[in-house]
Amino acid sequence: MKKFKKIAGLFIIIIVLIIVATASYIKVALPNVGAAPQMKIDQTPERVARGEYLANHVTICIDCHSKRDWTRFSGPPIDGTKGEGGEIFDQKFGFPGAFYARNITPEGISRYTDGELFRVITTGVNKEGKAMFPIMPYHNYGRMDEDDIKSIIAYIRTLSPIKNEVQTSSPDFPMSIIINTIPVKASFTKMPAKTDKVNYGKYMINAAACMECHTKFEKGKLVAGTEFGGGREFPFPDGSVVRSGNITPDATTGIGKWTEDIFLNLFHSRSDSATLSTKLQPGEFNSIMPWTMYGRMHDEDLKAIYAYLNTVSPINNAVVKFSAAKGQK
C-alpha cells in the first residue's frame, strides 16, 4: 500500500511539473511569430485612399476604434472620435476578460514603426511582443493582400491625433496563459481579380470578417459547423439583445431566396441619410452590425460577397433577430 502511495505521489508530482513546464513555456517563449518586418510605407494619395476605403467600409477598423452613438441605428461613429479607441469588449459579451480597443490615431501609434504596425495587424503581436486576444480579427487580416494592409497603415497615419489614454486589456485565467498560443504567422494572399467574382467575394468576406459575427460563439470561440449560420448574441447596455442573421443560402431561414438586388438594397437602405439622422426610441430594433459603414462598400464588392455566400453550405437556423429589454415593447 505504501509503495502504491509513493508511486501515485511521484506520478502526481511529474504531472504537476509537466503542467508547470508547459505553462512556463507558453508564458515565456510564446507568441513566436518572428520579428516585425523592416518597412517604410509610402503615403501616396492612391494608397491612402485605398486604406480609407478599407478601414471605413470593409475591415471597418474605424468602427471598433471610435466611440459609437447607440441612440442611432447600428451605432455610427461619433464625430471627433475617429480612431481614439477605448471601446470595451468584456465578459458581458461572452469574452474571457476585459479587452479595450487601442488608440490608433497618430497620438496612439506614433511609437510604432510601420513594420510593427504591420505585424500587430496581421499576427496579433504588439510592439512589446505581447499577444492580443483576437477581437480584432488579425487572423483574417493575416490572410489578406500585403498591399491592402500597407494601405490601411498609410491611412491611419493620416488620422487627426486624439489624446486618449486607453486601459490595458486584462484576460481572465486561464486565457491569460492560453492567449500566447493564439497568434500565428501571417499567410498572405494576393487579391483575386474582380472578374473572378466568387473568389474575389471570398477575399472580401474574409477582410470584412463576416464569419466572426455570423457564427455562434461559445466559451470565447466560434462554434465549428455553424459558420455563417447566425445566432451569435450581442447584448446592448439597456439589456436588449441583437442576434446575427443567418447568411447561408438556406431557403427558409437564410438568404437562399434573396436576389442580388435585395441583398444590395438592404445595405443601401440601412446606410442612407434618413437612417443616419433618425434617433431611436427605447426598445426599438437596433443592430451591432455597422450597417452605416458597410453600406458604403462599393456595389461590385457587395455583389461579389453575395456571390460567395451563395456557395457556402446552407444551414437551417431560424434566428430571432432582436429582443427588447424587459419592460420595453
Which three-class secondary structure string do you get for 131-178?
A: ECCCCCCHHHHCCCCHHHHHHHHHHHCCCCCCCCCCCCCEECCCHHHH
Which residues of the chain, if any, have pLDDT below 70? 1-30, 327-329
What is the rounded CA–CA span in Å between residue 18 and residue 6?
18
Residue with cell 451563395: 310
Residue 327 is predicted with a pLDDT of 64
Q: Where do runs of H (alpha helix) occur along the chain? A: 2-29, 45-57, 61-64, 106-109, 114-123, 138-141, 146-156, 175-178, 197-207, 210-213, 260-269, 273-277, 291-294, 299-309
Residue 17 is predicted with a pLDDT of 47
Residue 306 is predicted with a pLDDT of 98
Residue 238 is predicted with a pLDDT of 79
Burial of 198 (0-12, 13-18, 19+ CB in 10 A): middle
The secondary structure of 94-105 as a DSSP string is: T-SEEEE----S
Q: In angstroms, what CA-CA distances link 190 with 29, 128, 171, 200?
A: 31, 29, 34, 10
Residue 16 is predicted with a pLDDT of 52
Q: Which residues pair with 233 in a beta bridge?
A: 243
CB 79 within 8 A of CB 176: no
Residue 236 is predicted with a pLDDT of 83
Residue 25 is predicted with a pLDDT of 45
CB 283 within 8 A of CB 326: no
> For residue 176, which amino acid is it?
S
Residue 329 is predicted with a pLDDT of 56
